[in-house]
C-alpha cells in the first residue's frame, strides 16, 4: 500500500453522542404507543412526520398497538393530488438532473383546506381516541392532546432514495437517485425544515423515525430541547457518514476504522449540519435527530448574533473529507460566483472553499487555476469534445498542477478551476452550499451506477475566472501561511482563506495548552496533528470534551473562551480552526 505511515489507525469516533442532562424517560417499541396513549388520556394524538417517513408502516403499527383508536393518514386524506403538487413545484425542479431552484413555498400550499376541514370533522365525530399521522398532520385544525414530531436524518433519507423510495406524493421510486435528491434538496427539505421549526417549542415528544417503525424510539420534548441546549453551550461533534465514489481511496479505512471489505470510501461529511445527524443520549437510549435542528432551534447560541444576522438559521461552514489515497483524481470543476448562484438557483451565498492536505504521497498534486496564456476558446472546445467522448481533455495543457504535501493549504474562491489529484487526503474547508459543483471533465469515467456523471459545461464556463492564471494563483492561493501570534509552547498561523472568501482559517501548533475565544461566532476545528486533545472551559461553562486525530468538532458561539490541551505523546499537536470573518464581537 502507498498510504503513508501518518495514516496509522487512530481512535476516530464514528458515533459521537451529546448526553442530555437531567432525568428523562425514553421508550422503545410497544412502549412508544403506550406512552403516547397514556399522555393523551383519550385525546387526539398528532404525529407530524418528515417527508420520506414510512407513514403506511406507522398507520399499521399504531392500529396494531392501539386497536381501539381511529388512525388517519393525513397525507392521503387531505394533501393535494400528485399532479397538483407537480404543477406547484415544477418550476423549482427544472429539467436538469442535479440542479433546481430553491423553493419558498409553505406546507399548507400542498394541502387542500376543505379536505383538512373534513378531517377535523371526522376527528370531532369519532368515537374514541384519534391518531393523526403524516407530514403536515398539525395542519388539521383540531386541538392536540399529544403532539409528536417524527424526525428523520438526511443521510437516512438518501439511503431510502437509493433503495427505491419515491419522493413525497410522487411515483418516481425507480428514478435516478440524483433527481430524487434534487427534489428533496430544493423543495421538500426547504418546506419541511420551516414547518418543523415552528413545532420545536410545542412538541410533547420527539420520535426517532430513522430505524424500523416496529422499533421506534421516543423521548419527551423537554429532553429533545435540553439536548439542543446542551449541544449549543459547549463543543460537540455531529455524526459523520462515509460514502464510496469512483475516485475513492483507502486512507479513511485505516484512520476512521471503516469496513475494509468495501472497495473504497471517497467522501466523509464530518461537519455539514444540513446533512449530518446528532445523537442524543437520553437515559439508556440514544436517539438520532438532524443536526440542522440545533441550527434552526438555537441559531444565536450556536452561530452567534452577528453570524445569525448575516446568514440566518444556516450553518455557513463545512468540513468534509475527500479521500483519493490509492484512488483517482476528482473531477475538474468550478463553483458558481455569488451573483450567478443567486440569479440561477436562489441561493444567497456560494461555495467558496479550500483544500487542506491531511496527508499525501510524494507525487500528489492539486490542479488549480488556468495556465498563463491558455486560450479560453480552445479550452472550451476541448472540453466539449471530451464531453462528447471524442477525445480526453488535456488537463495539463490548460490547468496548473501544484505539488501537494501534508499540511499544505490551497485556497479556492468561487470561479477558480480546481481538482484534487490522486493519492491525497483532503480536509475540505468551505462554505456550505455543497451541491453546486459544476463538473467540467471527469476523466472519462462513469459513476458507481454505471451512468456518466453529470457534466455542466455551460454553467462552468459562465463562471470560470480566466484571469486566475499561473502567476495570480501562485501569489494568491498557494502557500499563504503567515504567523500571527506565538507564545510558550504554541504558534498561531493564518493559512487562509482568500480575501474574496468569508471564512477565516487559523492553524495552531502546540505542545501545551492553547487559549481560544469564539469571539461571539461559531468555530469549527479539526485536530490535524496528534492523536488526542481535550477542549476545556476556563470558566467551567461546559464539561471537558476529548477529540481525536482527524475529528472535526464545533464550538458554539455561546461557549466563549475555551482551551485546547494536548493529551497524546506526540512531540506536537495542531488544529485548524475556521470562523466567519467580520462577525466577531468587538
- 157 pLDDT exceeds 80? yes
Identify the three-state secondary structure at position 46: strand
Q: Is the peptide bond before 501 cis (omega within 30 degrees of 0)?
A: no
Strands of 6-123, DSSP E = 18-19, 27-28, 45-48, 70-73
From residue 26, alpha-carbon distances to 34, 235, 290, 528 in Å are: 12, 25, 18, 37
Report the mean per-residue pLDDT for the chain.
94
Question: CA 450, CA 140: separation in Å to the nearest integer?
Answer: 45
Confidence class of residue 2 from pLDDT cuts 50, 70 and 90?
low
Question: CA 358, CA 323: separation in Å to the nearest integer?
Answer: 10
Q: In the chain, where does the domain assigned CATH 3.40.50 lie?
A: 18-231
Cell, residue 381 = 472546445
**What is the CATH superfamily name and number for domain 5-11+241-272+315-477?**
Jelly Rolls (2.60.120.10)
State pLDDT tens for residues 534-570.
Answer: 999 999 999 999 999 999 999 999 999 999 999 988 9
State pLDDT tens for residues 449-507.
Answer: 777 778 999 999 999 999 999 999 999 999 899 999 999 999 999 997 778 889 999 99
If we measure between CA atoms, which residue out of 197, 189, 206 comes closest to residue 298? Answer: 197
Q: Which residues pair with 280 in a beta bridge?
A: 18, 287
Q: Report helix, strand and coil shares of the chain as percent, to nearest 5.
A: 30, 30, 40
The CATH number that domain 18-231 falls under is 3.40.50
pLDDT of 1 reads 45
pTM for the full predicted model: 0.95
Geometric angle at alpha carbon 550, from 321 and 227, rounded to 5°? 95
Identify the three-state secondary structure at position 389: coil
Q: In the chain, where does the domain assigned CATH 2.60.120.10 lie?
A: 5-11+241-272+315-477, 482-580
Q: Within 13 A of 30's CA, how many CA atoms are on the CB side?
A: 4
Question: CA 420, CA 276: separation in Å to the nearest integer?
Answer: 24
State pLDDT tens for residues 217-236.
Answer: 999 999 999 999 999 999 99
Burial class (CB in 10 A: 0-12, 13-18, 19+), 152: buried
The CATH architecture one would assign to domain 482-580 is Sandwich (2.60)
Amino acid at each position: 500500500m502507498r498510504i503513508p505511515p501518518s495514516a496509522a489507525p487512530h481512535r476516530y469516533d464514528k458515533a459521537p453522542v451529546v448526553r442530555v442532562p437531567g432525568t428523562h424517560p425514553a421508550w422503545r417499541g410497544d412502549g412508544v404507543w403506550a406512552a403516547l396513549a397514556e399522555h393523551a388520556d383519550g385525546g387526539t394524538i398528532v404525529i407530524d412526520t418528515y417527508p420520506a417517513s414510512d407513514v403506511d408502516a406507522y398507520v399499521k403499527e399504531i392500529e396494531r398497538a392501539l386497536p381501539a383508536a381511529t388512525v388517519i393518514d393525513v397525507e392521503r386524506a387531505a394533501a393535494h393530488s400528485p399532479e397538483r403538487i407537480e404543477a406547484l413545484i415544477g418550476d423549482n425542479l427544472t429539467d436538469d438532473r442535479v440542479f433546481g431552484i430553491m423553493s419558498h413555498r409553505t406546507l399548507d400550499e400542498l394541502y387542500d383546506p376543505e379536505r383538512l376541514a373534513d378531517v377535523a370533522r371526522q376527528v370531532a365525530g369519532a368515537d374514541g381516541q384519534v391518531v393523526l399521522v403524516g407530514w403536515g398532520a398539525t395542519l388539521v385544525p383540531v386541538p392536540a392532546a399529544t403532539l409528536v414530531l417524527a424526525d428523520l436524518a438526511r443521510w437516512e433519507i438518501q439511503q431510502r432514495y437509493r433503495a427505491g423510495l419515491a419522493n413525497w406524493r410522487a411515483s418516481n421510486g425507480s428514478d435516478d437517485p440524483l433527481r430524487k435528491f434534487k427534489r428533496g434538496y430544493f423543495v421538500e427539505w426547504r418546506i419541511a425544515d420551516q414547518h418543523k421549526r415552528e413545532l420545536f417549542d410545542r412538541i410533547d415528544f420527539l420520535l426517532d423515525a430513522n430505524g424500523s417503525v416496529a422499533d421506534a424510539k421516543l423521548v419527551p420534548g423537554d429532553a429533545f430541547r435540553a439536548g439542543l441546549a446542551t449541544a449549543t453551550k459547549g463543543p460537540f461533534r455531529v455524526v459523520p457518514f462515509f460514502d464510496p465514489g469512483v475516485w475513492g481511496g483507502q486512507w479513511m479505512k485505516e484512520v476512521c476504522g471503516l469496513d475494509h471489505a468495501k472497495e473504497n470510501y471517497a467522501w466523509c461529511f464530518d461537519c455539514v449540519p444540513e446533512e449530518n445527524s446528532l445523537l442524543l443520549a437520553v437515559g439508556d437510549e440514544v436517539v438520532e435527530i438532524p443536526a440542522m435542528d440545533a441550527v434552526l432551534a438555537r441559531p444565536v447560541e450556536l452561530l452567534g448574533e452577528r453570524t445569525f444576522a448575516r446568514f440566518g438559521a444556516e450553518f455557513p461552514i463545512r468540513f468534509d473529507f475527500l479521500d483519493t489515497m490509492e484512488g483517482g483524481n476528482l473531477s475538474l470543476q468550478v463553483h458558481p460566483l455569488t451573483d450567478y448562484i443567486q440569479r440561477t438557483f436562489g441561493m444567497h451565498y456560494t461555495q467558496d472553499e479550500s483544500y487542506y492536505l491531511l496527508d499525501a504521497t510524494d507525487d500528489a498534486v492539486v490542479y488549480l487555476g488556468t495556465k498563463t496564456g491558455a486560450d479560453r476558446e480552445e479550452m472550451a472546445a476541448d472540453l466539449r469534445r471530451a464531453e462528447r467522448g471524442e477525445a480526453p481533455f488535456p488537463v495539463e495543457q490548460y490547468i496548473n498542477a501544484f505539488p501537494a504535501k501534508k499540511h499544505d493549504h490551497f485556497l479556492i474562491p468561487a470561479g477558480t478551476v480546481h481538482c484534487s489529484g490522486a493519492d491525497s487526503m483532503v480536509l475540505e474547508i468551505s462554505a456550505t452550499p455543497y451541491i453546486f459543483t459544476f463538473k467540467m471533465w471527469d476523466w472519462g469515467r462513469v459513476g458507481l451506477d454505471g451512468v456518466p456523471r453529470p457534466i455542466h459545461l455551460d454553467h462552468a464556463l459562465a463562471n470560470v475566472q480566466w484571469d486566475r492564471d499561473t502567476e495570480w494563483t501562485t501569489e494568491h492561493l498557494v502557500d499563504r501561511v503567515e504567523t500571527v501570534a506565538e507564545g510558550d509552547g504554541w504558534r498561531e498561523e493564518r493559512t487562509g482563506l482568500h480575501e474574496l472568501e468569508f471564512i477565516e482559517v487559523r492553524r495552531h501548533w502546540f505542545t501545551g495548552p492553547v487559549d481560544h475565544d469564539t469571539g461571539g461566532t461559531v468555530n469549527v476545528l479539526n485536530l490535524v496533528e496528534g492523536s488526542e486533545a481535550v477542549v476545556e472551559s476556563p470558566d467551567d461553562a461546559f464539561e471537558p470534551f476529548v477529540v481525536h486525530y482527524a475529528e472535526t468538532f464545533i464550538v458554539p458561539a455561546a461557549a466563549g473562551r475555551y482551551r485546547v490541551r494536548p493529551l497524546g505523546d506526540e512531540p506536537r499537536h495542531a488544529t485548524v480552526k475556521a470562523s466567519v470573518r467580520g462577525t466577531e464581537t468587538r
